Structure 1
Amino acid sequence: MEVPTGCKLCRQCGEVKPHSEWHKNASASDGLSTRCKACRAVQGRAGHLKRAYGLTEAERDAMIAAQGGVCILCQESLAEHVDHDHQTGKVRGVLCFGCNAGIGQLKDRPDVLRRAAAYVEGNLWKPTIVAQGVYRQPS
């Protein structure tokens, strides 16, 4: 296959792409990576799933399909982010960005999440003062 000047053949996808579609690699003879940016990105995501969660892309996709393709919490947005317990590392499900970030902002603490739900439902969480500096929390 003849490759035009200013282009390179990707060993992964087999496509000829312009040099702008390649990362630089100072140790390579032509100064460019062996795989195009798109192929590196796909492989990078797959590697991250395996390293971080022990999942393949197929396993993640099966979880998303089992959830109907949507976030397991809000059941509206697309499920794209693998959620896991930061203590045990166990994968819980696949969430949308907003729900995953929300759980993270509340530090994965069920007690805080329950209070947040009660707050949103209009049940204000107000501790009762028993003595100066001593509070009783509602049960």
Structure 2
Amino acid sequence: MFDLRSGKVRPQCKPALPLTEFHRDRRRVDALAFYCKACATARSEESRRRRGIAPQKRSPVPVAEGLKETRQRLHGGSREYHLRRRYGVGQKEFDELLAEQGGVCAICGGADPQHLDHDHRTGWVRGILCFNCNGGLGQFRDSPTRLARAITYLRGTTWQRALIHPGVYQMCSPTRGRPPSPRS
């Protein structure tokens, strides 16, 4: 039915075509699709028309040879795809926002933050954070009240050394009566 050196015969049209005119299909014995690319496209379009489905959209950007991943083809990569789909911004806007922040996390000032923070209620982008700061806000459910209570808690339960006699210190807390355990 086919000669690997010269080409493969199309089932419908019958002339021999070069092997580059067939999509790859590892499941088949010859590792090539049953229909050539042109016939496969025509069959797909006819099937869509019969079922009342709109024609498939074409990419405005030509696809390089062997490059078929949709994210790469349509968006330039997985990162761009993720940012656009989830937050409505691209890598360019991300880089501009990071430059406005001085290249550091908006909360702790740590270097190389990679997480785009957004308000879950409105969807608006707030800034770029490091992994820990972004996770922390998520754990507090973006609630200023919860964060304020956490700050009050930290300030009120921080153990401090109190001088009770020259050279003798005792650990005490402004709101708690117990000293820390000997193991801590």
Question: 2 CA distance for matches of 1:98 and 1:47?
Answer: 24
1:86-109: CA deviations, max 9, x gaps?
010000000000000000011111
- Listed as ranges, the matches of 1:25-44 within 5 Å are 28-29=23-24, 31=26, 34-35=66-67, 40=72, 43-44=77-78
In the alignment, what sits opposite 2:153? Answer: 119
Change (3 A) 1:30 1:105: same
In the alignment, what sits opposite 2:132? Answer: 98
Change (3 A) 1:121 1:78: farther
- What is the aligned residue count? 96
Question: 2 CA distance for matches of 1:36 and 1:75?
Answer: 39
Specify the code of the residue in structure 1 equivalent to 2:129: L
Q: Does 2:110 align with 1:110?
A: no
| Structure 2: tracts of 5 or more residues without a match | 1-22, 27-64, 159-174, 176-184
CA drift at 1:77: 3.4
| Structure 1: tracts of 5 or more residues without a match | 1-27, 127-139
With normalisation by structure 2, the TM-score equals 0.46
Percent identical among aligned pairs is 43
- Listed as ranges, the matches of 1:1-139 within 5 Å are 28-29=23-24, 31=26, 34-35=66-67, 40=72, 43-122=77-156
Question: 2 CA distance for matches of 1:123 and 1:72?
Answer: 27
Specify the code of the residue in structure 2 equivalent to 1:29: R
Question: 1 CA distance for matches of 2:99 and 2:155?
Answer: 31
Question: 2 CA distance for matches of 1:113 and 1:64?
Answer: 24
Question: Larger RCO: Structure 1 or Structure 2 (Cα < 8 Å, ≥ 6 residues apart)?
Answer: 1
1:56-95: CA deviations, max 9, x gaps?
1010000001101110000123221000000100000000
Cα RMSD, aligned residues only:
2.8
Specify the code of the residue in structure 2 equivalent to 1:67: Q
Q: Which range moves more in the overlay, 100-109 or 115-124?
A: 115-124
Question: 2 CA distance for matches of 1:34 and 1:97?
Answer: 35
